[in-house]
Amino acid sequence: MTRAYQEIYLSNAQAVLGDAFDYAVNTCHIPGDDFVKLFVASSISQRMENGEPSLLAGKSGIEIVLDVVSETTGKHLDVQPEAHMGRSVEYWIGWAVAYYQWYSARRYNDIFKVLSYDDLQRMYYTLHEADITKFVDIANDKIREFFKDTNLKRIRTSYGCTQAELARLSGVTLRSIQMYEQRHKDINKASVETLFSIAKVLGCTIEDLIER
């Protein structure tokens, strides 16, 4: 699977977003849900998704918060950071979500649609000492439940193409397309030739069809 960006930036991304959530909530006293809304509405979240080095390795969590608030509200915060003993719940939320975004290559907006700030707070108490893969597994299950349509079905219907038309134009059997869309066959295990044929018809990339 293609990750969101190179792994060398991952630990920085986790620390930066962890620090940002901690500073926003505990020092600036911005409610967690409100900061999530500001963050996903900002260009900062999209630039982090793309692995922009100037953000992941060039800014602190405090600077991220200042940029997010300034861009989305026009306000300029001037709140001195406070010392905290250990890692806060808020830090873990940013740290874990940054990992999942890198791992899944999903947009922060989609992740926070499924996992609310309150959900993440509750998950902290059972998962903060566990391996991060436990969080990934739970997040994957919740996202698949929320986004019930496969990427193939979503892209095909947006394109305005029926299953039969896609089968005819791509050369992939109608039954295979139906089974991929119903998750009775794993499209991630389809041959490159099959994926390329479908993607070519729908005007998307092979990566767009992969289920994460």
pLDDT in tens, 135-148: 999 999 998 888 88
Same domain membership, residue 66 and residue 159: no
Same domain membership, residue 196 and residue 140: no
Same domain membership, residue 92 and residue 30: yes
Domain that includes residue 39, residue range: 7-146
Q: Is the dihedral of CA 104, 109, 110, 115 positive or negative?
A: positive
Same domain membership, residue 82 and residue 14: yes
Owner of token pair 């892209």: 155
pLDDT in tens, 23-49: 999 999 999 999 999 999 999 999 999
| pLDDT value for 169 | 97
Residue of 212 and 1 predicted with greater confidence: 212
Same domain membership, residue 131 and residue 39: yes
d(CA 76, CA 70): 5
Report the chain's C-alpha Rg in angstroms: 20
* 126 pLDDT tier (thresholds 50, 70, 90): very high
Same domain membership, residue 199 and residue 139: no
* Residue 36: how many other CB atoms lie within 10 Å: 24
**Which of 112, 129, 146 marks a domain boundary?**
146
> What percent of the chain lies above the pLDDT cut of 90?
74
Same domain membership, residue 160 and residue 130: no
Total domains, the chain: 2
pLDDT in tens, 75-108: 998 887 776 666 899 999 999 999 999 998 888 9
Same domain membership, residue 12 and residue 73: yes
pLDDT in tens, 152-181: 998 999 899 999 999 999 999 999 999 999
Q: Is 145 exposed, middle or buried (0-12, 13-18, 19+ CB in 10 A)?
A: exposed
Residue 2 falls within a domain, yes or no?
no
pTM: 0.77
Contact 73, 28 (CB under 8 A): no
Ranked by mean pLDDT, the top range of 30-34, 52-56, 148-152 is: 30-34
**Which of 104, 121, 146 marks a domain boundary?**
146
